[in-house]
């Protein structure tokens, strides 16, 4: 997988370049980052999870809000995956002996967390912050797609630098009222140009394109 071809050198490359202040190589690398970022190849990445947890069932059919489980998403950079106890709130009573929940019961008994496999992971040299986006009116669905229809989560967007910057340069078509951040079916077309402009000015939205915003 492309991941293994790149990060080892790119983790070291960025700090080195920034320290040396090497302007010309920087442009060369930027060109690479835009055109050939290896992450763009990973759209659709869909690892098998230790428990067949379905967003389609829980977030879709049962209508649970994303924040019931990913409860740090508004407050912190990281969107925490829920601890076993969050699941046990229901599953001590619902399907308590389902074979599909065996790894969950084992986690509850031993106290060892479930070993969920990460679907999204930027290189350590890149910094992302959830709260900065969702509280400014960029909805989950814009970056993660229709999670409420996914039996198994897959990577919807490239998460490459070019993808981030496309929106940072001109975010207006991706803005919604922050109260709709987890709404998977909010109709973006229902907002007029004026309403988007007013969201932008109300929240003083001016996403940064400085390297240090995402590489620190």
Q: Examine residue 191 and tell whether it contacts ligand HEC (CB under 6 A).
A: no
Least separation in angstroms between residue 192's CB and ligand HEC is: 19
Among 107, 136, 191, 199, the residue binding ligand HEC under the rule CB under 6 A is: 136
Q: Examine residue 178 and tell whether it contacts ligand HEC (CB under 6 A).
A: no
Count of residues engaged in binding ligand HEC, rule: CB under 6 A = 87
Q: Examine residue 159 and tell whether it contacts ligand HEC (CB under 6 A).
A: yes
Q: Examine residue 51 and tell whether it contacts ligand HEC (CB under 6 A).
A: yes
Sequence-separated contacts (24+) of 83-88 with Cβ below 8 Å = 83/113, 84/108, 84/113, 84/114
Of 76, 79, 105, 107, nearest to 91 by C-alpha is 105
> Stretches 46-54, 105-113, 191-199: which one binds ligand HEC (CB under 6 A)?
46-54
Q: Which residues contact 76 (CB under 8 A, 6 or more apart)?
A: 129, 130, 131
Q: Examine residue 2 and tell whether it contacts ligand HEC (CB under 6 A).
A: no
List phi, psi (to 5°) of 124: -60, -20
């Amino acid at each position: 997988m492309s991941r293994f071809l790149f990060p080892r050198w790119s983790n070291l490359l960025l700090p080195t370049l920034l320290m040396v202040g090497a302007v010309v190589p920087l442009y060369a690398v930027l060109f690479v980052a835009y055109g050939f970022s290896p992450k763009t190849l990973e759209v659709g990445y869909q690892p098998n999870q230790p428990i067949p947890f379905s967003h389609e069932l829980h977030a879709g059919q049962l209508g649970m809000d994303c924040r019931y489980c990913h409860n740090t998403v508004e407050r912190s950079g990281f969107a925490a995956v829920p601890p076993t106890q969050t699941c046990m709130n229901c599953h001590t009573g619902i399907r308590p002996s389902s074979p599909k929940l065996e790894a969950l019961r084992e986690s509850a008994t031993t106290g060892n967390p479930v070993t969920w496999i990460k679907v999204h992971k930027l290189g350590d040299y890149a910094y992302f912050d959830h709260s900065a986006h969702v509280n400014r009116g960029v909805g989950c669905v814009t970056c993660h797609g229709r999670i409420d229809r996914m039996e198994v989560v897959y990577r919807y967007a490239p998460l490459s630098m070019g993808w981030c910057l496309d929106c940072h340069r001109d975010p207006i078509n991706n803005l919604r009222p922050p109260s709709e951040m987890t709404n998977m079916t909010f109709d973006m077309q229902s907002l007029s140009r004026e309403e988007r402009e007013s969201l932008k000015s109300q929240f003083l939205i001016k996403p940064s394109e400085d390297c240090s915003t995402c590489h620190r």
